[in-house]
A and B are shown apart, each in its own frame.
Chain A
């Protein structure tokens, strides 16, 4: 059963120490919820970016909430490098699991299918492979002359995403952002904030149904309009580029980051 809760109550349901799945900025990111987590002093997260991170991940790192970061990249896009991420790497404050995008998807796919690993092309000869403890090179069991990489399953304890719409039954419309669907399928629990809640079932409309995450994967829904600001939400609202630049500037120093995070909390 999907619970319907307030955003604050949802934040209370995410404890320190979990493996937390997050979507890329603009594709289901939820910086407003990240702020709640930071205010609650969340710590020791293993963050899984599916497959890359942006401002919301940088904020968690800046707040000292991340101990392990599994991602293919962290960037603020047009606003440049992610400042807290760069600082944490230099100072050795996070354990980095550098990945490559399709390998993250392969690991999530393994979890989705309930198998221990997934084979994937490429990667052999890279330092990404050399430094990743959960990837191995094996022999293709059907062709012994071929070497191939296998990545172990990635199963987040909790995935936290923002989506355009849910219905009263807990079904969530994701549309064509299937990588968010994959992330939710792979995770033990998925918490979703949404722009709006529909009174009629999203599964009733054949045109929508294929893009809907069914309620059985959705542990909790909170209505939280504008929660993707300033990173944006696909097909709903654009990134607020000026605000991301403000963040990029402020977060250049730990003091600036702190001032930013305790300052304005929404566009309104």
Chain B
């Protein structure tokens, strides 16, 4: 049974479902939603007596145990010690390519974003990369990215054990099918229809008449999110935690 929750809470809960079974999740310093999803998975696993989940927040001294500098994350990923990671993107296309560099031409991009960070590498090595971008619009979800920071698919003869697993926005959730190199609409968030999603997406995708609604958390999980998870988040992301609903 689903209880009334905010869109952000729905996304956090959905992230925790996408992370199911992962033992070590790495999240960026400025990614409070993925961190919240990972913390929720950790708490839920603990409640059910399942394995411990390690959450490494990059750039945080307190919430990661790396002692070999920021290169240790990349070494860990290459060895298969990171199960899941998140990527955003100024543009994401229907083939799972991610653009973190800029739009409208390169190198003198009229619209320039910060840069590729570790994406060109981690996308190959982390088994479950979750593409997370709240804005769901044709300008973000494009047919073809203007610059490939990290490619969705790779030719034969190149080592690749990781890649896109799912794409989550504030309107829908897609899975990525590695055999066809295409996204498949898995569920639509409450208040939206498959027709809305087709309208809002700049690329074609499979199962585009999907009628599944993205499930929200039950009352018990929602209480956990509004209590324990909210306090855990406040240690690293005080402003974000304050923006979430509090336990009654």
Which positions in A face B, CB cutoff 8 Å? 26-27, 51-52, 71-75, 77-78, 81-82, 85-86, 89-92, 96, 98-103, 105, 109, 120-129, 131, 145-148, 176-182, 234-235
Q: A177 touching B69 by the CB < 8 A rule?
A: yes
Contact sample, A vs B, 27 pairs, CB 8 Å cutoff: A26-B59, A27-B70, A72-B116, A73-B100, A82-B114, A92-B107, A98-B107, A98-B115, A98-B116, A99-B115, A102-B118, A121-B78, A121-B159, A122-B123, A125-B155, A126-B148, A126-B149, A127-B148, A129-B120, A131-B106, A146-B159, A147-B158, A176-B66, A179-B69, A182-B69, A182-B71, A234-B61
Looking at B121, B124, B151, B159, the one whose CB has the most chain A CB atoms below 10 A away is: B121
Instruction: Please report whether the interface of chain A is mostly helix, strand, loop or mixed according to DSSP.
Output: mixed
| Docked CA distance A100–B72 (Å) | 15
| Docked CA distance A94–B158 (Å) | 33
Q: A179 touching B71 by the CB < 8 A rule?
A: yes
Residues of chain B with a CB closer than 8 A to A96's CB: 107
Which residue of chain A has its CB nearest to the CB of B65?
Answer: A176
Extra A-B contacts (15), CB below 8 Å, given A71-B115, A72-B116, A179-B70: A26-B59, A52-B115, A52-B117, A77-B30, A81-B112, A89-B102, A90-B110, A90-B112, A100-B118, A100-B120, A121-B78, A121-B121, A121-B159, A178-B69, A181-B69
Partner of A51, one of B70, B78, B106, B151: B70
Q: A121 touching B116 by the CB < 8 A rule?
A: no
- Residue-by-residue, is B57-77 near A (CB-CB < 8 Å gives 1, otherwise 0)? 001010000111111101000
- Residue-by-residue, is B142-154 near A (CB-CB < 8 Å gives 1, otherwise 0)? 0000011111011
Residues of chain B with a CB closer than 8 A to A100's CB: 116-121, 149
CB distance from B98 to the nearest CB of A (A): 9
Q: A73 touching B117 by the CB < 8 A rule?
A: yes
| Docked CA distance A102–B119 (Å) | 10
B168 contacts chain A at the CB level, 8 A cutoff: no
Q: A85 touching B155 by the CB < 8 A rule?
A: no
Counting contact residues on chain B (CB < 8 A from A), the size range is 35 or more
Q: B69 touching A176 by the CB < 8 A rule?
A: yes
Q: B157 touching A147 by the CB < 8 A rule?
A: yes
Q: B149 touching A128 by the CB < 8 A rule?
A: yes
Residues of chain B with a CB closer than 8 A to A78's CB: 30
Residues of chain B with a CB closer than 8 A to A145's CB: 157
Residues of chain B with a CB closer than 8 A to A122's CB: 120-125, 150, 160
B41 contacts chain A at the CB level, 8 A cutoff: no
Which residue of chain B has its CB nearest to the CB of A104?
Answer: B71
Residues of chain A with a CB closer than 8 A to B121's CB: 100-103, 120-123
Q: B71 touching A105 by the CB < 8 A rule?
A: yes
Residues of chain A with a CB closer than 8 A to B119's CB: 100
Residues of chain B with a CB closer than 8 A to A129's CB: 120
Residues of chain B with a CB closer than 8 A to A126's CB: 116, 120, 148-151
CB distance from B247 to the nearest CB of A (A): 27
Looking at A105, A109, A181, the one whose CB has the most chain B CB atoms below 10 A away is: A105
CB distance from A206 to the nearest CB of B (A): 15
Residues of chain A with a CB closer than 8 A to B112's CB: 81, 85-86, 89-90
Q: B69 touching A124 by the CB < 8 A rule?
A: no
B228 contacts chain A at the CB level, 8 A cutoff: no
Residues of chain A with a CB closer than 8 A to B113's CB: 81
| Docked CA distance A121–B118 (Å) | 12
Which residue of chain A has its CB nearest to the CB of B154?
Answer: A125
B130 contacts chain A at the CB level, 8 A cutoff: no
